Amino acid sequence: MQSYSSFNAIFLKTFLGSSLALALFNLLADPFAVMGVARVKAWNYTKPDLGNHIRLYKAVDLANQDIKTLVIGASRVEEGIDPNQDNLVAHQPAYNLAMAGATLYEQSRYLAHAIQTQPNLETVILGIDLWLLYSELPSFRPGFDEDRIGQKRLSIEEWLKINFSFATSEAGLNMVKANRQNPDRENDYSPNGLRTNANADVPFIHWIKFVVNRGPESVSDTAFADLQSMFDLCQAHNIKLIVFTTPAHASHVEALHISGNGHLIEEIKRRISAMTPFYDFYGYSQLTYGPLEETAIYRDSSHFQLSVGDLIVERLLKGQQANVPEDFGIWVTAEHVEARLRQQREARSVWLQDNQEIVETVAAMQDPEQK
Amino acid sequence: MGYFALSAFRLNIIRKIWLLATSLFFYGYWSLPHLYLLMASITINFVIGSAIAKTKPNRSQAKVFLIAGIVINLSLIAYYKYADFLIQSVNSISTSSIALLNIALPLAISFYTFTQIAYLVDVYREDIPVYNLLDYSLFVTFFPQLIAGPILRHNEMIPELSRSKQERFSERSFALGISLFTLGLAKKMLIADRLSPWVAEVFTHADLVSFVEAWFGALSYTLQLYFDFSGYSDMAVGLGWLFNISLPINFNSPYKAVSIIDFWRRWHITLSNFLRDYLYIPLGGNRKGPLWQKGNLVLTMLLGGLWHGAGWTFVLWGGLHGLYLTINHQWRKSGITLPGLIGWLLTFLAVVLGWVLFRASSLAEATVLFKTLLGGNGVVLPGNLAAALSWLSPLGVEFVGTSASTALPYLSGTSSQELAINLGTIVLLLFAVMWLPNAQEIVEKYLPSPVIAATLGVLLTYCLFMMSQPSEFLYFQF
C-alpha cells in the first residue's frame, strides 16, 4: 500500500534533484559570465548570449577589475574605442564600460558603480551620442538593476535568480551547442569590455532610415540632468573627465536635418559647452565624409570602426599635437561654441554642394507621410 | 519546520508567536508602512470585539460598539480604496476638478477588513468564545490567506489552532498540502500568466478587434481569471494544510455550473457566503417577499461588485450578476427545467459576458466589445479559408487577407501555426475546466501515487525555474 511518507520522499527527491541538477548546469555553463566559472573550449569558452545581458555582465566584470581609466558611452563607444590601444598605454589598466543603447541615466549609474568599486580610477573618457539627448527614452533598459550599483559581488537574490532559471538553462544549452559547432569562435567581448563582434549584417543605411523618419523631437532636460550628474560625480571624486561627442557618417547627420530636427545639434552643443568643454567629433569633417557604404571607417552610418576610435583617443589625449585630420575633433568651450557652430554650417554647405546624390538618396528614404 | 519543532517541545504559545511573526514578516516584506496599518486595524478590532462581548447583556451599548467598529473598518477601506473613485465620479458628473489623492492601496485591505467586520458581527449576534489577542491576530494575518483569501471566519480558523492533532507534523497533510500548492502555482504561472498578454492584446484594441478576436479575448480572460484566482486559493489552502490548518475551499469547478445560483456556490465561495450571511440575510433576504428579495439580491451583488474594485465596471458587473440571480430565482419559481446542457451553456455565456465588463477599463470599452461579441461589427475570417467556408459569405462573413495574422492581427501568434496552437490551447483549457476534475479533486483522488509524486516534483521545479527570468535587452538591434 502506498504511503504518504513515501509520497513525500519521492516528491522531495524529485523536486530537489531536478532543481539542483538544473541549477548546477546553469552554474557550470555560466552563459552570462558572472559566476566566475573557468572558460573551457567546446563548453563555455565563447558566450553568444552575453551581449543580451550586458548590463549584468559588465556590472560584475567591472567589479572584478582594478582600473585607472574608464571609457563609457553607448554602442558607438562600446565597439569603437579599444581600451588597449597604443594611445592608452600610459593609462592602463583601462576598461570599456560602454553598453549598447545605454541611456544617460544608466551611464551615470554605471559611472557611480565604477567610482565605488575602482579605488584607483583616475580618468574617465565619456563619449556622448547626441541622440540620447533628444530621444524619448525610458530611464533604463531591461536588464538594468539599481541593486548592482556599488556591489563587488552578485547579491544572493540575483545569484539564485540566475541559476534557478530556465532562461539561463536555454542560454547555456545554446552556448554549449555553439561552442561545440565552432570551437574556435572568439568571444563577443574582449576582457577589457570592448565589443568585438558588432553586427556586420546591419545594412549601412539602417540607422539613416530610422533617423530621417523621426518626428519632431526636442531636447530632453532629464537626459541633460543625468549628464550633469556624471560631471558632478567626477568632480566630487577628483577624477579627470574627458568628454567628446561621438562622430557619425555625414549622411547620418544630414538625415537628422532632413527629418526637421537639425536644429537640435546646435542646441545640444550649446548646452553641453555651457556645462563643460568637450571635443566635438559630431558633424561634417574629413572623417565623416565618404560615400554611403563607406565601411572602411564606418560599420554603418552610426558606428565608427576601431581605426577611427584610435584617432579619437589620440585627439582627446594629445589635442592639436595629435596626428589626426585637423577638422576632426574640435575643442569646444562656452566661449568658442558659436564659432564652431558657424564652421559646421559652412562645412555642411560645402558638403551639400559636393554630395547632392547622397542627399537625394537619404531624402528618398523618408516616408511620404513624414515629408 | 520551526513550527512543528516548537510543537514537539510543547512550546505552543511560542509556536503561535512564530507563525504570527512569519505572517507579519511576509506582509511587511511588501510594504512596511502598511504593516503598521494592519497591526493597528487588528488591535482596534480586537478591542472593539472585546467591548462588544463585555457589554452584550446591554444590547444597545453593544450595538453602539458594533456600529463604531463597522464604521471604522468601512472608513478605512473607503479612504484607501474608494476615495479617488469617488473624486473621479464627482468630477465626471459635475464641473469640479478636485485633485486625486493618489493613495497607495494597502495589500489585502479588502480581505482583512471584511474578515474583521464578520468577526465583530458574530461577536454581537452569537455566543462565541473569548479569544486572546494572539489567536485573533493569527486568524487575521495567517499568511497563506492574508493576501487573496479565502475569506476566513473565526470559527473556521481559531479552533484549528488549538486542536491537538494540529500540533503534530502529518505526512498526509504535508502530501496533500504540497500537492495542492504545486497545482495552484502551476495554474497561476503556467496558465494564467501565459493567457494574460493574449487578453491584454484584445482589450487594449477593443475598438479594432473583430468577432473572432473578441471571443478569443473574452474566453481567454474567462480562463485567466479562473486559473489565477483559483490558483492563489489552492496555494493558500495547500499552505494551510502544510500547517495542519484546513482553510475553506474557495472554488469548486465554477465553469461546470448549470445555473447562476449554482455558479455562485462554486465561485469565490467564501465571498458568496460572506455576502449572504452579512449583507443579504441582514437586509431581509427572501423573508420580506419576492420584490424585496430581488432588491436585496441586486443590492448585495452591487456592493459585491464594488468590493472587487473601485470602478463603475465592477459595480455594473455586480449589478449584472444581481440581475442574473433575480432571473434565475424567478425561473425556478416558474418550475420550468432546462436540459442540463442548455442550462450550462446559458450560464457559461452569461458569466463570460460578465467577465468582459469586469475586465474592461471603461464602460465604453465594454460596450464596444459586447457589440463585437454579438456580431454587431461583422465577422472576419482569414482569406485562405474562403474556399472551404464560402457558404458563410451570404451570412455576412468577410474573408480578408491571405493568412490568419493579416485577417486577425490581435489574436496572439505571429504565424498561422502559432495561432492554431493558441486557439487549440483555449479549446483544451475550456475542456479541462468543464469536464476534468479540479485541483482539490485530483489531490484527494490520486494521492499518494508515486507517479503523481514524481510528476508534481518536476512540476514544482518547472514553476520555480519559470519564476526567475533574468531580463535581457537585445543588443543586436544596435
Residue with cell 465596471: B313
Mode of pairing for the β-strands spanning A94-96 and A123-128: unpaired
Contact B468 A3 (CB under 8 A): no
Q: Which of A14, A56, A74 sits opposite B453 (nearest CB)?
A: A14
CA separation, residue B11 to residues B7, B24, B165, B170, B358 (Å): 6, 20, 15, 18, 47
Q: Which residues of A touch B447 (CB under 8 A)?
A: 4, 7
Contact B175 A100 (CB under 8 A): no
pLDDT tens-digit readout, A12-53: 999 999 999 999 999 999 999 999 999 999 999 999 999 999
Return the pLDDT at B372. 93
Return the pLDDT at B470. 64
Question: What's the gap in Å between the CA of B459 and the closest CA on chain A?
Answer: 8
State which amino acid sits at residue B239. Answer: L
Q: Which residue of A has its CA nearest to B176?
A: A4
Contact B171 A13 (CB under 8 A): no
Q: Which residues of A touch B457 (CB under 8 A)?
A: 10-15, 17-18
Question: What's the gap in Å between the CA of A331 and the closest CA on chain B?
Answer: 28
Q: Report yes or no: A212 and A365 within 8 Å, Cβ to Cβ.
A: yes
Question: What's the gap in Å between the CA of A71 and the closest CA on chain B?
Answer: 18
To test the contact with chain B by mutation, choose from A11, A135, A145 the residue with the greatest count of B C-beta atoms within 10 A, namely A11
Nearest partner of B44 among B4, B76, B20, judged by Cα: B76
Residue with cell 559630431: A282
Interface A-B: count of C-beta contacts within 8 A: 122
Q: Which residue of A has its CA nearest to B169?
A: A5
Contact A142 B471 (CB under 8 A): yes
DSSP H helix total and E strand total for chain A: 13, 6
Neighbours of A22 (CB within 10 A): 21
Q: Residue B98's pLDDT band (boundaries 50, 70, 90)?
A: confident
Give the list of residues 6+ apart from residue A18 with CB closer than 8 angstroms, or none: B457, B458, B461
Share of residues in chain B with pLDDT > 90 (%): 49
Q: Which residues of A touch B450 (CB under 8 A)?
A: 2, 6-7, 10
Return the pLDDT at A195. 95
pLDDT at residue B163 tops 90? no
Return the pLDDT at B305. 92
State which amino acid sits at residue B374. Answer: L
Q: What would you report as the CA-atom Rg of chain B, rounded to the nearest whole angstrom?
A: 25
Return the pLDDT at B382. 79
pLDDT tens-digit readout, B119-150: 999 999 877 877 889 999 998 988 888 777 78
Q: Report yes or no: B157 and B245 within 8 Å, Cβ to Cβ.
A: yes
Burial of B3 (0-12, 13-18, 19+ CB in 10 A): middle
Task: Measure the CA–CA gap between A321 and B462, rounded to whole angstroms.
Answer: 62
Contact A54 B449 (CB under 8 A): no
Q: Coil, helix or strand for A336?
A: coil
Task: Measure the CA–CA gap between B283 and B276, rounded to whole angstroms.
Answer: 10
Burial of A227 (0-12, 13-18, 19+ CB in 10 A): buried
Q: Report yes or no: B252 and B269 within 8 Å, Cβ to Cβ.
A: yes
CA angle B161/B166/B168 to nearest 5° reads 135
Helices (H), B268-415: 269-275, 281-283, 290-308, 312-334, 340-359, 363-373, 404-407
Helices B154-162, B133-141: inter-axial angle, 10-degree rounding:
120
Q: Which of B448, B467, B468 sits opposite A2 (nearest CB)?
A: B448
Nearest partner of B105 among B332, B308, B335, B393, judged by Cα: B308
Grid coordinates of B177: 498540502
Return the pLDDT at A132. 96
Q: Which residues of A touch B467 (CB under 8 A)?
A: 164
Task: Measure the CA–CA gap between A227 and B333, rounded to whole angstroms.
Answer: 74
Q: Residue B471's pLDDT band (boundaries 50, 70, 90)?
A: low
H or E element in which residue A125 lies: strand A123-128
pLDDT by position in tens, chain A (length 371): 569 999 999 999 999 999 999 999 999 999 999 999 999 999 999 999 999 999 999 999 999 999 999 999 999 999 999 999 999 999 999 999 999 999 999 999 999 999 999 999 999 999 999 999 998 889 999 999 999 999 999 999 999 999 999 999 999 999 999 999 998 888 899 999 999 988 777 889 999 999 999 999 999 999 999 999 999 999 999 999 999 999 999 999 999 999 999 999 999 999 999 999 999 999 999 888 888 877 788 999 999 999 999 999 999 999 988 899 999 999 999 999 999 999 999 999 999 999 999 999 999 999 887 66
Contact A10 B174 (CB under 8 A): no
Grid coordinates of B325: 440571480
Residues B431, B434, B440, B443, CA torsion sign: negative
Contact A164 B457 (CB under 8 A): no
Task: Measure the CA–CA gap between B462 and A128, rounded to whole angstroms.
Answer: 44
Question: What's the gap in Å between the CA of B446 and the closest CA on chain A?
Answer: 11
Length of chain B (residues): 478
| Catalytic residue ranges of B | 308
Contact B470 A167 (CB under 8 A): yes
Q: Report yes or no: B138 and B15 within 8 Å, Cβ to Cβ.
A: no
